């Protein structure tokens, strides 16, 4: 069931470690808003490390779907790996129940509101939290667990629905569905997974995060790989360099505009003294650092 048992997939354990470090750093570093370049860089850099959750989802998509693809490609029955549901249950529920039983008294002593936390704990322990929105005041990081459970439920269903099709057709159908359906729902409704004030994954909109991992597992089993493709990995360094240069360009433009606004304000202090005063964008962007003229910030 677990591809990491094969030495060819040992690198995934390394990626798991990277994802863990990214999430830990993202949740551990706090810095007050700084006006200098270094402060803004550190704040934005720490914020981007939250993408470690997306890396976890991608790895889950690969690991969980890999045995499905193996059975599909080799025409092994049944299509769903034996014991799939029970393995998922024993991996998820005992740690979840233990965390709820330990954290609920702590939250009650810390924040009070015992009825809310007790009812929320009951929803988690009975599994209702995976079907209906639940309060995010009790350990809001569990939003990712809701998305993960939805993937565990939907993946076997997708393989059963595409059972009449060939493995290649199944690959394209499942890969496209995991992207098109969640993204379309998000675009049309504006809904997406949330962790506050409610933990919710409306209409399974978080499933798109697993698409890449599922597709890679399918490609691996269908033997689409070509060793020459490894050369494309070198382009990753070029892409990183381009992004870095682009970021520096944006910082330079930001500083240029701020300097222009200060000169404009100084030259027209009698008629428009506050038009180009710097206003933190954190008021508009929920914590991301940046500056725009107050005139535009007020109109945003």
CA 128 to chain centre: 22
**Residue (of 117, 110, 113) closest to 140 by Cα position:** 117
pLDDT of residue 291: 34
Domain ranges across the chain: 3-225, 238-299
194 Rama class: left (phi>0) / alpha (psi -120 to 50) / beta: beta
Taken as a whole, the chain contains a residue count of: 300
Please report which confidence band the pLDDT of residue 3 belongs to, taking 50, 70 and 90 as the band edges: very low
pLDDT of residue 122: 96
Question: Of the ranges 10-19, 30-39, 136-145, 257-266, which is most confident?
Answer: 136-145
- Inform me whether the pLDDT recorded for 78 exceeds 80: yes
pTM, two decimals, is 0.73
pLDDT by residue (tens digit) across 199-214?
999 989 999 999 999 9
pLDDT of residue 15: 81
Backbone angles phi, psi at 218, to 5 degrees: -65, -45
266 vs 261: CA distance, rounded Å: 8
């Amino acid at each position: 069931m677990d591809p990491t048992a094969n030495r060819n997939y040992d690198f995934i354990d390394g990626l798991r470690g990277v994802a863990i470090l990214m999430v830990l750093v993202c949740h551990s570093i706090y810095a007050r808003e700084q006006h200098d370049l270094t402060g803004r860089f550190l704040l934005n850099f720490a914020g981007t490390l939250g993408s470690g959750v997306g890396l976890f989802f991608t790895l889950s998509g690969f690991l969980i779907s890999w045995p499905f693809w193996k059975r599909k490609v080799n025409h092994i029955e049944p299509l769903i790996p034996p014991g799939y549901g029970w393995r998922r249950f024993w991996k998820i529920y005992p740690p979840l129940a233990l965390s709820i039983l330990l954290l609920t008294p702590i939250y009650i002593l810390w924040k009070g509101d015992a009825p809310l936390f007790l009812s929320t704990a009951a929803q988690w322990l009975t599994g209702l939290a995976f079907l209906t929105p639940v309060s995010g005041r009790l350990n809001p990081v569990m939003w990712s667990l809701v998305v993960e459970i939805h993937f565990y439920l939907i993946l076997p269903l997708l393989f059963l629905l595409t059972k009449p099709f060939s493995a290649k057709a199944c690959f394209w159908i499942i890969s496209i569905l995991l992207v098109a359906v969640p993204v379309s729902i998000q675009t049309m409704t504006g809904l997406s997974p949330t962790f506050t004030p409610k933990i919710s994954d409306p209409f399974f909109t978080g499933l798109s995060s697993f698409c890449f991992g599922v597709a890679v597992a399918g490609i691996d089993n269908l033997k689409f790989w070509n060793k020459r493709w490894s050369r494309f990995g070198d382009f990753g360094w070029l892409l990183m360099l381009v992004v870095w240069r682009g970021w520096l360009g944006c910082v330079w433009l930001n500083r240029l505009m701020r300097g222009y606004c200060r000169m404009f304000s100084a030259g027209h202090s009698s008629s428009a003294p506050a038009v180009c005063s710097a206003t933190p964008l954190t008021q508009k962007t929920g914590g991301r650092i940046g500056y725009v003229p107050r005139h535009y910030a007020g109109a945003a």
